[in-house]
Amino acid sequence: MESLEQGVDSPHPSWRRWVVGLIAVVVLGAVGAAAWQVDMRWREASASDIALAFDETLSAIETAERRVQSVAEYARPQSDRDDISLAEKASLEAMVQEAAVESAADIARERMQINAVRLLPWHTSLQAARDRAVAWLDLRASGIVTLAATGQATYAPREEIDSARTALRDAWEAISRAE
């Protein structure tokens, strides 16, 4: 108690506190830099995974459109004949719809890969890009999907597809910039 009253110096010189503080700053800086590096690698890998899944889904849609169109062109001359029975006509329409059902399943399988990409909560530009990609792909696939479900192809309006494509392009440009 007497030493406190007399103002005796602490047993630890001030230079030790300075060194401990400096070490703490260096360690925290290194940990922060490592965390930033890991985050950037995660972000780049996620962007790459989204782009790959997008391309594969788009390829599935384009393949589906060609497949269904080919089956429809094969069936059209037969179904346009005057002497065809209703059962035969229904069979040809079912063949086209079955091609759409198989194609819609392929599209859905590829599309799930986009949503399967794990994103970190603060990667908002990646989340926006993924959402816009899914929205555009869904609009693009609407004809095949409705044909598979109802037997009638119903396509999204061209303006809606164009607007979604513009939003998608803007989102991809945003992720190309540093977040």
Write the secondary structure of 127-146 as one string of H (helix), E (strand) and C (coil): HHHHHHHHHHHHHHCHHHHH
DSSP 8-state secondary structure symbol assigned to residue 177: S
How far apart (Å, rounded) are the C-alpha atoms in residues 74 and 79? 9
Interacting residues of 123 by C-beta distance below 8 A, sequence separation 6+: 43, 46, 179
Global pTM value: 0.74
Q: Is residue 22 part of a domain?
A: no
Identify the pLDDT of residue 158: 93
Q: Is residue 21 part of a domain?
A: no
Q: Is residue 8 part of a domain?
A: no
Q: Is residue 86 part of a domain?
A: yes
- Which residue in 55, 69, 46, 67 sits closest to 125, CA to CA? 46
Q: Is residue 33 part of a domain?
A: no
Q: How far apart are the first and last CA of the chain?
A: 57
At 81, list the tokens: 């004949």
- Asked if 54 and 133 touch (Cβ cutoff 8 Å), the reply is yes
Ranges of H-type helices in 80-157: 86-115, 124-140, 142-150
Identify the pLDDT of residue 58: 92
Q: Please give the residue range of the domain that contains residue 54.
A: 48-176
At 121, list the tokens: 């909560």
pLDDT (tens digit per residue) in 116-166: 999 989 999 899 999 999 999 999 999 999 999 998 889 999 999 999 999
C-alpha 12: how far from its chain's center? 57
Interacting residues of 50 by C-beta distance below 8 A, sequence separation 6+: 114, 117, 126, 129, 130, 133
pLDDT (tens digit per residue) in 24-67: 777 778 777 887 888 889 888 999 999 999 999 999 999 999 99
pLDDT (tens digit per residue) in 89-106: 889 899 999 999 999 999
Q: How many domains does the chain have?
A: 1
CA 159 vs CA 60, 156, 163, 164: distances in Å: 23, 8, 6, 9
Q: Is residue 111 part of a domain?
A: yes
Q: Is residue 61 part of a domain?
A: yes
Q: Is residue 101 part of a domain?
A: yes
